[in-house]
Amino acid sequence: MTDENANEETATGPGPAGLCAGRVVVVTGAGRGLGRAHALAYAAEGARVVVNDLGVRPDGSAARDAGGPADEVAAEIRAAGGEAVAHGGDVATPCGAASLVATALGTYGRLDTLVNNAGFVRDRMLVNLAEDEWDAVLRVHLKGHFLPLQHAAAHWRAEAKDGRNPRARVVNTSSGAGLAGSVGQANYSAAKAGVLGLTLVAAAELGRYGVQVNAIAPAARTRMTERTFAETMAAPTDGTFDAMDPGNVSPLVVWLGSAASEGVTGRVFGVEGGRITVMEGWHPGPTADKHARRTPAEAGGTARRLLAEAAVPEPVYGAG
């Protein structure tokens, strides 16, 4: 682990123009929590921001202020002297994702960065998890990543083929639940693990068009986490550093979405408080090759010997 001096951190700022000056950034689920923090941070670095949010409740059900949070964040950015436009479409539908990209292009004439962040939770133990609760969470987190990414990628591919050479960026949002699992969140964990696979494939496929794709696994205080982790997520009352403030995650997201991150793609970063971790995923461990077919008993014996040599896996959140 590397400790960094606070003066070193602040000394690497982008200067008056802003790290994202001239860039157009789309942030989904940007009406509250992490998405709001990202939208404000991008605007502070000179980006023009498309603020997407449906304004739903934490479980995805309709709220009376549907669409309102996106308007509020866009207005907040404009009041601070930035440029922003609200988008209230459902990014987990083809029409909503298409209109999201069209809003950026129609309003600002370009699209440089897509931050996929929208989501909600419907937590249940596996045996009590209803099919519609499974479908709803997979839809918003996984399909809600895929569709905006697909529409943005189609635009960037066309730009590249026309010789305009995008320096495009995508930041996807996974979770510790996607990396390690989380008791009571089978649907959410599966969706967030799927986001990791989508990120790796997109990075490999889209690099030829000037698109970099990375993912974060953040830990912060949001509407989704407050109920599950109320005690550990509580804000300090003594003026000390608030490690769970969503704004702590945004600086890395802004950097990944900027031209300054050139050459960084297909990576997953853990982000919590002041800590940034490069996550290293599945990789081959102990291996044995007989060069012939085993019997089931032989396969079991080999598996047990290899497991004795292997590292102990990280525990699932909430287990034990």
Instruction: Give catalytic residue positions.
Output: 175, 188, 192
Q: Within a 13 Å sphere around the CA of 211, how many CA atoms are in the beta-carbon half?
A: 30
In 10 A of CB 277, how many CB atoms?
A: 12
**Helical axes 186-206 vs 131-138, angle rounded to 10°:** 30
Per the structure block, which two tokens stand in for 27?
């942030």
Q: Which of 72, 295, 315, 112 is nearest to 212 (CA)?
A: 112
Residue ranges in the chain assigned as alpha helix (H): 6-10, 33-44, 68-79, 94-108, 131-138, 144-161, 176-180, 186-206, 223-226, 230-233, 250-256, 296-309
Helices (H), 162-265: 176-180, 186-206, 223-226, 230-233, 250-256
CB 154 within 8 A of CB 147: no
φ, ψ for residue 257, nearest 5 deg? -85, 5
Contacts of residue 88, defined as CB under 8 A and 6 or more positions apart, other chains included, come to: 52, 53, 54, 55, 66, 67, 70, 71
